[in-house]
């Protein structure tokens, strides 16, 4: 299904596999364990273990993952900053590294009652600790006065911590009723020290402490009823409540130790209330035509309290229509039409009025005026021989937001902030062509031609209306080198994208080639994987440029995404990997 029905609570495409309900009379224990070694600029190690215990009416699954390693990043920037009647040329070289320790675990229990009802419960615990260190050398030169030059050095050190708890309980009844509860607790304290020097002179010595605590509740209930006429009605409700508390302080060392800056203190609470009602109908009209249509109404209210000042960020109703129509001329010729709509909300950190320095030239700022944006998408597909797919698609997103840089007109600062655009519009055509050569080669080629346009009439003191035609090409290949002893498969995948725009950014082309060798032995219980991703270090645009009105800069990112991975996995008891819904943390953290 290219457009998932509302009852699945899933955005986008989904494959729904309905398995025979077999019974397990004997107790069974299955499992898997694995380790990974990853080598980029620095090395990283990962490990995981999964256990599955099942009886005739009880299933218990447990998984644990861990990661420990280091990362490296860097960029070079050249900018021409217009300030009043002069132009300053900025050259900056930034490098960073850090250490990451992360892990998560999940314990799930499914119990089947005698009447085939099922009760499920799961607990997820996750967390990470990141220690970071960044340095940058920045030079400012006034073009009209070649002798005027300012050299600065900055260093940023800090530590971010995250702890997450999630509990989910769900009841699935044999009469078509599904109901449940979901609770998430998220805590993220952070510390940063920013030091900026000009020669022996200290310009800024600042400490920044922040903390984000989020509690999120959700209750839901769905019911599906099939009538004798062949119509299926699915309807449900979903209610949610979220409390987000954010605290930020800034302390400056002006010669007498670190002293707080009361005017920059931020202590806010955001409380959100949501209520959803949806109804969906579906029917197969004979052997040729089938249709599914739904309408969801959402009430959303967000109350905001910043340092004692109360306001309402959002308070509105939104309706989301969705439909999927399919007509089968013959099994060799199928037409599908999919229409869906959705809404995306900014993270809690993005709307917090905070200022985080990156280096002597760039800062990240929050935007309390940021609004959510809606998405309206349509697809028309023709499926030939149940293999080849040809499509026409379009997507319109009013108030679309993205993080954009802006060279300030009042000071030599490059400000990164999330901004709402007037709209983001994409439209295009595409094709998916699978092909194979015997049992040796199994491939899939995907091609898309797209026109994208992003427009914003009031972006600080300028505006933009940027569009671009681009092509996207993907080729995935699996080669079966040997099916028995040894069992060897080779994956060779690649893509090429001609370019794109993001706000005032003009992005150049990118491509990526990756390869992987898979060896299974010991009756397929053991697997060794050797992979190399981004072989040619080419999946970051070579051109990242801004040349809009009086804004000009070029950014070159240091690509540290090429990675060689060696993995070993051992399975026992006939274990097969089980997919679990991930905890939604899209609005949490920085």
Is the CB of residue 428 less than 8 Å from the CB of residue 467? no
Tell me how long the chain is. 590
What is d(CA 487, CA 30) in angstroms, rounded to the nearest whole number? 22
Q: Which H or E run contains 166? A: strand 149-172
Residue 25 has pLDDT above 60, yes or no: no
Reduced to 3 states (helix: H, G, I; strand: E, B; else coil), residue 263 is helix
For residue 72, the model assigns a pLDDT of 96
Q: What is the pLDDT of residue 26?
A: 65
- In terms of DSSP bridges, do strands 362-365 and 414-420 run parallel, antiparallel, or are they unpaired? parallel
> Does residue 30 sit within a domain?
yes
Q: What is the mean pLDDT of residues 344-362?
A: 94
Give residue 590's pLDDT.
Answer: 86
Percentage of residues of the chain with pLDDT beyond 70: 95
Label residue 12 by pLDDT band (50, 70, 90): low
Q: Which residues pair with 313 in a beta bridge?
A: none
Q: What is the pLDDT confidence band of residue 23, given thresholds at 50, 70 and 90?
A: very low
pLDDT at 499 over 80: yes
pLDDT at 216 over 70: yes
* CA–CA distance, 292 with 336 (Å, rounded to integer): 11
Contact 384, 390 (CB under 8 A): yes
429 within domain boundaries: yes
What is the number of domains present in the chain? 1
Q: How many C-beta atoms lie closer than 10 Å to residue 257's C-beta?
A: 8
Q: What is the pLDDT of residue 505?
A: 94
pLDDT of residue 11: 60
Give 247-257 pLDDT, tens digit per residue: 999 999 988 89
Range with the lowest mean pLDDT among 143-152, 295-304, 485-494, 537-546?
A: 143-152
* Residue matched to tokens 């300053």: 88
Residue-wise pLDDT for 93-140, tens only, equals: 999 999 999 999 999 999 999 888 999 999 999 999 999 999 999 999
Residue 579 resides in a domain = no
Compute the average pLDDT of residues 167-173: 96
Tokens of 309: 């000042």
In a domain, 547, yes or no: yes
* Residue 28 belongs to a domain: yes
Tens digit of each residue's pLDDT (9 = 90 or more) over 41-98 = 999 999 999 999 999 899 999 999 999 999 999 999 999 999 888 899 999 999 999 9
Q: What is the pLDDT of residue 84?
A: 84
pLDDT at 340 over 50: yes
Would 582 be classed as within a structural domain? no
Is 32 contained in some domain? yes
**113-to-31, 169, 178, 484 alpha-carbon distances in Å:** 25, 15, 15, 42
Domain span holding position 26: 6-572
**pLDDT, position 4:** 65
158, 129 Cβ separation under 8 angstroms: no
Residue 588 lies in a domain: no
Which CATH number fits the domain that encloses residue 18? 2.40.170.20
Instruction: Enter the pTM of the model.
Output: 0.91
């Amino acid at each position: 299904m290219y457009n998932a029905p509302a009852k699945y609570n899933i955005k986008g495409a989904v494959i729904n596999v309905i398995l025979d309900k077999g019974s397990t009379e004997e107790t069974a224990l299955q499992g898997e364990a694995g380790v990974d070694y990853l080598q980029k600029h620095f090395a990283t190690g990962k490990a995981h273990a999964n256990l599955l215990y099942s009886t005739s009416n009880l299933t218990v699954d447990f998984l644990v993952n861990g990661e420990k390693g280091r990362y490296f990043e860097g960029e070079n920037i050249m900018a021409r900053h217009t300030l009043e009647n002069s132009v300053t040329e900025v050259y900056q070289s930034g490098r960073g590294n850090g250490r990451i320790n992360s892990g998560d675990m999940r314990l799930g229990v499914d119990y089947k009652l005698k009447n085939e009802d099922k009760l499920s419960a799961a607990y997820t615990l996750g967390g990470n600790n990141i220690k970071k260190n960044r340095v940058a050398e920045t030079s400012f030169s006034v073009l009209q006065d070649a002798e005027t030059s300012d050299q600065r050095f900055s260093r940023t050190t800090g530590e971010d911590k995250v702890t997450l708890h999630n509990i989910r309980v769900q009841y699935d009844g044999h009469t078509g009723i599904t109901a449940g509860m979901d609770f998430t607790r998220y805590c993220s304290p952070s510390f940063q020290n920013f030091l900026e020097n000009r020669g022996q002179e200290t310009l800024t010595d600042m400490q920044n402490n922040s903390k984000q605590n989020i509690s999120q509740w959700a209750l839901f209930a769905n019911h599906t009823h099939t009538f004798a006429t062949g119509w299926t009605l699915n309807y449900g409700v979903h209610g949610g409540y979220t409390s987000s508390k954010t605290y930020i302080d800034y302390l400056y060392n002006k010669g007498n130790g670190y002293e707080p800056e009361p005017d920059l203190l931020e202590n806010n609470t955001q409380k959100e209330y949501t209520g959803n009602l949806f109804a969906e109908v579906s029917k197969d009209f004979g052997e040729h035509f089938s249709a599914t249509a739904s309408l969801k109404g959402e009430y959303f209210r967000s109350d905001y309290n910043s340092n004692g000042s109360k306001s309402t960020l959002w308070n509105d109703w939104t309706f989301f229509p969705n439909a999927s129509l399919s007509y089968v001329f013959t099994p060799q010729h199928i037409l599908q039409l999919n229409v869906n709509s959705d809404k995306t909300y900014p993270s809690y950190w993005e709307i917090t009025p905070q200022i985080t320095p990156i280096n002597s030239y760039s800062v990240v700022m929050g935007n309390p005026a940021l609004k959510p944006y809606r998405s309206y998408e349509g697809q028309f597909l023709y499926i030939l021989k149940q293999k080849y797919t040809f499509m026409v698609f379009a997507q319109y997103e009013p108030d679309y937001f993205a993080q954009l840089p802006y060279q300030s007109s009042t000071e030599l600062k490059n400000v990164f902030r999330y901004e709402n655009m007037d709209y983001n519009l994409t439209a295009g055509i595409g094709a998916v062509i699978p092909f194979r050569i015997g049992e040796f080669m199994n491939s899939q080629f995907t091609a898309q031609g797209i026109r994208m346009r992003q427009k914003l009439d009031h972006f600080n003191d300028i505006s933009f209306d940027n569009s671009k035609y681009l092509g996207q090409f993907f080729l995935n290949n699996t080669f079966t080198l040997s099916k028995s002893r040894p069992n060897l498969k080779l994956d060779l995948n690649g893509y090429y994208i001609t370019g794109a725009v993001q706000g005032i950014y003009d992005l150049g082309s990118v491509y990526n080639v990756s390869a992987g060798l898979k060896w299974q032995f010991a009756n397929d219980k053991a697997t060794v994987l050797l992979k190399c991703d981004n072989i040619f270090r080419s999946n970051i645009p070579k051109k990242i440029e801004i040349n809009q009105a009086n804004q000009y800069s070029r950014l070159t990112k240091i690509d540290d995404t090429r990675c060689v991975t060696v993995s070993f996995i051992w399975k026992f008891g006939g274990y097969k990997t089980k997919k679990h819904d991930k905890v939604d943390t899209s609005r949490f953290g920085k």
